[in-house]
Amino acid sequence: MESFVHTVLWRRLDQPGYDACRIAATSQGWTIEGAAVFAQNGTAAHLAYRLFCDATWRSRGASVSGWVGHMSLDLTLERAGTDDWRVNGEIDPNMTGLDDIDLGFTPASNTNAIRRLDLSEGTGADCVAVWLDTEDWSVKRLPQSYHRTGPRTYAYVSPQHDYRATLVTDAFGAITDYPDLWTMCRT
């Protein structure tokens, strides 16, 4: 039984879409789950997701199921031991040693990194996430950095995409403003 639940509704800014998310404390740590319905390159998409973290917000696994246009998607990520990751049951040596999962289609999966890093104002950290790339829907490494610039603001950089933005969060650590991509409608 959950002792804490935080819900969020985001609206997508670059294309039509919404994402409804529920973050819950569990006896094993945290669960982030939701469903995103959005347009992707001129076609409709519907993806349900669940992301599991331990009590320190270190990602333990995730699942994504649904469809993007005519393509069905059924993905499972699971930590295998301390450092290895299974992608749909197979160890992927490219993911060894990574702590976070970033599901590229939802701002929900920034919460786990923000909470795990637990940065003080004025400090930052570089990290690499197990990332679901929405361009080809494959799992890759995603270098990124977070620098806490204020009580609820983070300078976020994804060098691979030459993307820089100031992410704004609520008091819990869920994104309220992801420039040009997502905005929170309600908590």
- Weakly modelled stretches of the chain, pLDDT under 70: 1-2, 187
Q: Residue 187: its pLDDT value, please? A: 65
Q: Which residue has the tokens 């940065």?
A: 119
Q: Residue 17: its pLDDT value, please? A: 97
Q: Residue 2: its pLDDT value, please? A: 54
- Backbone dihedral angles phi then psi of residue 170, each to the nearest 5 degrees: -85, -175
Pairing between β-strand 175-178 and β-strand 163-169 as defined by DSSP bridges: antiparallel
Residues 6+ apart with CB under 8 A from 96: 83, 84, 85
Residue 137: exposure state from Cβ atoms within 10 A (0-12, 13-18, ≥19): middle
Q: Residue 135: its pLDDT value, please? A: 93
Q: Is the dihedral of CA 127, 180, 136, 161 positive or negative?
A: negative
Q: Residue 44: its pLDDT value, please? A: 98
Cβ neighbour number for residue 9 with a 10 Å cutoff: 13
Q: What is the C-alpha end-to-end distance of the chain, expressed in Å?
A: 21
Q: Residue 84: its pLDDT value, please? A: 96
Q: Residue 3: its pLDDT value, please? A: 79
pTM for the whole structure: 0.94
Residue 135: exposure state from Cβ atoms within 10 A (0-12, 13-18, ≥19): exposed
Q: Residue 186: its pLDDT value, please? A: 72
